[in-house]
């Protein structure tokens, strides 16, 4: 250990110091969040002086959250929406990406451009018409309504899978054709199994986006029982006209972060990959 | 595209078209039609009569709209120009330490998986204006009076940018870190042999090789800040308070289309949507042409180094044997 420390140059020691300061700044609000959620204090005022460890440890705040708020329902809704979105997104994107990569049909480039046009028009600039369409389809206050506009226009995922398929040898496809397999079967039995790592990356990305999305679920859902966790959290915790109890707010926050944190502690490799390889902002 | 489309071929293609039908229909229903609808709405009054560009006139004269454009650009510019240099510096440091890279990466990833709503809740407590908040407690230790943070008209925007920086910096650090891994190590080795010092290597190898990552991060950041909504909404809900300093373009559109508290106007909301769309298009185009300059050189060099890498990889076995 000592010999290893000696090898560090002066600049490397400075790097460690700066990075550690940055890491502390990042982690401090989380520590405060967890500690406050386990702290019992009666007033709406924050305790003074601020503390990083609960002085009155209790699970009272969680008791309130589970008994007085629809928290479990929000968590269930969000999980259902996330699963549905991932399944549909991966199915549609992998199939379409495969077709645009290996398929030979008239107007392929134009159709690809047509689909990619989704990436050029920001979703936010066509909120009202999309809401009206979803309403006419009778999908307000449904899981499908929350995800359908995103799932059916996910040009980025399609493009990403097309890029991946482009690197796979065309011989695979020809071999399937010679054996007399249909296009759907070639996709399902030859190409889909090869897409594993890409699909994992896109899953991580999609779960993260769906779990943390606020704007669209807020518009399409107007019944509390159908709210996703973010909408529930936003309506409870951030209205600026009312004072909120810090303990209950942080308990809710902890519960909203926890599922993702647990999931991603196992998939950390894929998060780094998904950010690095795709670089898409939520 | 040069192929001549024949009718016979068209029939054989039918199967392909069926397989890609879902996103095609989706694009039609959720992109083409809404865009068309938005443009039509922006030129109609509430009785759906054509009124030309009147809504645009109303929008541009609206004080709240001007305010929202100013706020969006102000917070956007401040955020982008703080985020990118800091993230790049941190990524470089991360790349140059011998051990513990993954530990730091986990730390920087944490805010990334946390939703902006949660972050806003935390920051509203940490930066709350009373003296018991952590931020005010810390500055009281160095003898300063409590500040208003999100509640102060003169510093709410800066506080919000600080929050966005805290949330978004890890993302860019990871992106830059990944970019740094693609810089060919043989370039550094060659520079070391030629007697270059660390600063020169950084200036003449790292930064030019990172050009594409820079452009990518810069353009996506610009688009993201123009679409700023979730963070301001989470902090101030649809009010954009204090004093409208947190009022952004999307918040304006949202309020004009879905608000339950304020006066709604679909025509104005649509006009603002079209303006936002054009604004994003123009800023992306400007950025694109600004960064396009001598891209051909970079491109050639990139291809060259890639080929070099490939050669090295192909000849990997031989190299190994010689060693």
Q: What percent of chain B has pLDDT over 90?
A: 31
Bridge-partner residues for A39, per DSSP? A57
Q: Is the pLDDT of residue B251 over 70?
A: yes
Instruction: Give the ipTM of the model, two decimals please.
Output: 0.85
Q: Are residues A219 and A107 part of one domain?
A: yes
At residue B262, the pLDDT reads 80
Contact A106 B171 (CB under 8 A): no
The answer to whether residue B82 neighbours chain A at the CB level (below 8 Å) is: no
Q: Is the pLDDT of residue A43 over 80?
A: no
Its pTM stands at: 0.84
Q: Are residues A40 and A159 part of one domain?
A: no
> Closest approach of chain A CAs to the CA of B300, in angstroms?
21
Q: Are residues A81 and A47 part of one domain?
A: no
Residues A234-252: tens digit of each pLDDT: 887 655 445 678 888 889 9
Q: Are residues A172 and A91 part of one domain?
A: yes
Residues B43-86: tens digit of each pLDDT: 988 888 888 889 999 999 999 999 999 999 999 999 999 999 99
Q: Smallest Cα–Cα separation from B27: which of A169, A120, A175, A212? A: A120
Residues of the domain holding A30? 2-58
The answer to whether residue A31 neighbours chain B at the CB level (below 8 Å) is: no
> Closest approach of chain A CAs to the CA of B126, in angstroms?
8
Q: Is the pLDDT of residue A187 over 70?
A: yes
Q: Are residues A76 and A38 part of one domain?
A: no
Q: Are residues A98 and A31 part of one domain?
A: no
Instruction: CATH number for B49-114+157-303: choose from 2.30.30.100, 1.10.3720.10, 3.40.50.11740, 3.40.190.10.
Output: 1.10.3720.10
| Kind plus residue range of the DSSP H or E element containing A160 | helix A155-166
Average pLDDT over residues A29-38: 91
The answer to whether residue B153 neighbours chain A at the CB level (below 8 Å) is: no
Inside any domain, residue A280: no
Contact B113 A239 (CB under 8 A): no
Q: Are residues A191 and A166 part of one domain?
A: yes
> Closest approach of chain A CAs to the CA of B255, in angstroms?
11
> What is the CB neighbour count within 10 angstroms for residue A106?
18
Q: What percent of chain A has pLDDT over 70?
A: 92
Inside any domain, residue A129: yes
Residues B72-124: tens digit of each pLDDT: 999 999 999 999 999 999 999 999 888 888 889 888 888 988 988 899 989 98
Residues A152-162: tens digit of each pLDDT: 999 989 988 99
Q: Count up the domains in chain A and report the number.
A: 2
Q: Is the pLDDT of residue A171 over 90?
A: no
The answer to whether residue A238 neighbours chain B at the CB level (below 8 Å) is: yes
Q: Are residues A236 and A179 part of one domain?
A: yes
Q: What chain B residue is nearest to A31 in terms of C-alpha separation?
A: B122
At residue B60, the pLDDT reads 93
Size of interface A-B (CB pairs under 8 A): 293
Q: A233: domain CATH number?
A: 1.10.3720.10
């Amino acid at each position: 250990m000592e010999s290893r420390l000696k090898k560090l140059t002066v600049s490397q020691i400075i790097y460690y110091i700066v990075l550690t300061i940055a890491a502390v700044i990042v982690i401090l609000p989380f520590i405060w969040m967890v500690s406050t959620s386990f702290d019992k204090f009666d007033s709406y005022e924050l305790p003074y002086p601020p503390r990083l460890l609960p002085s009155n440890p209790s699970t009272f705040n969680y008791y309130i959250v589970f008994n007085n708020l629809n928290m479990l329902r929000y968590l269930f809704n969000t999980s259902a929406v996330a699963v549905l979105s991932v399944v549909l997104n991966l199915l549609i994107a992998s199939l379409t990406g495969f077709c645009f990569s290996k398929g030979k049909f008239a107007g392929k480039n134009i159709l690809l451009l047509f689909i990619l046009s989704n990436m050029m028009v920001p979703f936010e600039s066509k909120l009202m018409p999309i809401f009206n369409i979803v309403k006419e389809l009778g999908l307000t206050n449904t899981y499908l309504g929350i995800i359908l506009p995103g799932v059916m226009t996910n040009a980025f995922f399609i493009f990403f899978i097309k890029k991946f398929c482009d690197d796979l040898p065309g011989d695979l496809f020809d071999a399937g054709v010679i054996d007399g397999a249909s296009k759907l079967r070639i996709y399902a039995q030859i190409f889909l199994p090869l897409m594993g790592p890409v699909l994992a990356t896109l899953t991580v990305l999609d779960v993260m986006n769906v779990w943390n999305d606020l704007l669209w679920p807020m518009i399409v859902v107007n019944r509390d029982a159908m709210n996703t966790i973010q909408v529930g959290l936003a309506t409870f915790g951030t209205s600026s006209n009312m004072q909120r109890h810090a303990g209950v707010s942080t308990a809710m926050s902890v519960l909203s972060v926890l599922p993702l944190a647990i999931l991603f502690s196992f998939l950390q490799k894929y998060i780094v990959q998904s950010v690095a390889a795709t670089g898409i902002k939520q | 595209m040069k192929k001549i489309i024949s009718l016979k071929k068209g029939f054989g293609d039918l199967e392909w078209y069926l397989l890609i039908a879902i996103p095609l229909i989706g694009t039609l229903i959720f992109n083409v039609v809404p865009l068309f609808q938005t443009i039509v709405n922006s030129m109609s009054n509430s009785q759906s009569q054509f009124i030309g560009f009147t809504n645009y006139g109303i929008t541009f004269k609206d004080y709240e709209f001007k305010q929202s454009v100013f706020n969006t650009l102000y917070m956007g510019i401040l955020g982008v120009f703080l985020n990118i240099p800091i993230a790049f510096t941190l990524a470089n440091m991360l790349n140059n330490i011998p051990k513990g890279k993954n530990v730091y990466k986990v730390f920087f990833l944490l805010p990334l998986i946390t939703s902006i709503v949660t972050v806003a809740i935390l920051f509203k407590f940490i930066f709350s204006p009373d003296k018991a908040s952590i931020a005010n407690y810390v500055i009281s230790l160095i003898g300063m009076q409590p500040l208003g943070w999100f509640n102060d008209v003169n510093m709410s925007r800066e506080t919000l940018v600080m929050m966005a920086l805290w949330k978004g910096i890890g993302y860019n650090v990871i992106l830059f870190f990944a970019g740094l891994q693609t810089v060919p190590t043989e370039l550094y080795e060659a520079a070391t042999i030629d007697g270059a010092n660390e600063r020169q290597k950084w200036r003449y190898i790292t930064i030019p090789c990172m050009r594409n990552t820079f452009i990518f991060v810069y353009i996506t950041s610009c688009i993201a800040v123009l679409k700023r909504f979730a963070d301001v909404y989470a902090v101030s809900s649809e009010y954009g308070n204090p004093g409208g300093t947190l009022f952004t373009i999307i918040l304006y559109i949202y309020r004009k289309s879905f608000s339950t508290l304020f006066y709604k106007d679909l025509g104005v909301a649509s006009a603002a949507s079209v303006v936002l769309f054009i604004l994003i298009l123009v800023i992306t185009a400007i950025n694109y042409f600004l960064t396009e300059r001598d891209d051909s050189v970079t491109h050639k060099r990139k291809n060259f180094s890639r080929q070099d890498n490939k050669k090295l990889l192909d000849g990997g076995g031989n190299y190994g044997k010689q060693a």
